A and B are shown apart, each in its own frame.
Chain A
């Protein structure tokens, strides 16, 4: 069983659309994260949630809204998609915030045309 799973794996869409990426972890972890990998391959933190509570919001446009319905899920909703949103988005989870190892999903490649 995949520990951290993201869907979809690939997402191609037009500018201006709204889309969601889902993330689920079956590790029983308390903390979940979203990272964005830019065109230069740097992964940069976007959000983290601990026990469904927002901990980090790293100067991300408010078109991006994370939603955590429960500890096992952290979905990323993006409104009014722009060309610059094209990237690979990685979800991760850790046992607790601050000190634990983060476990990553396989990434979602978003292409905005």
Chain B
């Protein structure tokens, strides 16, 4: 079955530290890849996405992610986190063959940034 794994369930960092959150998926074909973020009390919002082209994608708020096809990975990075980055981060995959739009999510990573 298709699945998405996020290795870090809970990450605690100090401000200005660098961030990398892992995401791996199990699907052999073409995929669309997403990172969503949920700030406390707010809706899930899109951080960035990869559909095709340059495997290094840049998103909002200084986040970026790199798609490495050979590793089935789409890790999220930020060089210097801020307290306001405290949130839940979800990686999601949509198989390219899907005509239903169904997203398959990882179980999320809670990021806590200490001021």
Seen from chain A, the residues whose Cβ lies within 8 Å of a Cβ on chain B are 2, 4, 31, 33, 35, 40-45, 48, 55-56, 58, 90, 92, 94, 97-107
Contact = CB atoms under 8 A, between A and B. Distances in A.
Contacts of B44: 90, 92, 104-107
Q: Name the residue in B34, B45, B90, B100 with the highest tally of chain A Cβ atoms < 10 Å from its Cβ.
A: B100
Given A48-B100, A98-B98, A98-B99, A106 B41 contact: yes
30 contacts: A35-B103, A35-B105, A40-B107, A41-B108, A42-B105, A42-B108, A43-B105, A44-B105, A45-B102, A48-B101, A48-B102, A55-B101, A56-B100, A58-B102, A90-B44, A94-B101, A97-B99, A97-B101, A98-B101, A99-B32, A99-B101, A100-B101, A101-B34, A101-B46, A103-B45, A103-B46, A104-B45, A105-B43, A105-B44, A106-B42
A65 B53 CA distance: 40
Nearest to B46: A101
B22 to A, nearest CB: 16
Interface residues of B, number: 23
Interface string B89-101: 0101000001111
Contacts of B45: 103-104
Contacts of A94: 101
Contacts of A99: 32, 101
B25 to A, nearest CB: 13
A23 B71 CA distance: 38
A35 B41 CA distance: 17
Contacts of A104: 36, 43-45
Given A40-B107, A43-B90, A44-B105, A97 B100 contact: yes
Given A4-B43, A41-B108, A42-B107, 16 more contacts: A31-B101, A35-B105, A41-B107, A42-B108, A43-B103, A43-B105, A45-B103, A56-B102, A90-B44, A97-B100, A98-B99, A98-B101, A99-B101, A103-B46, A104-B43, A107-B43
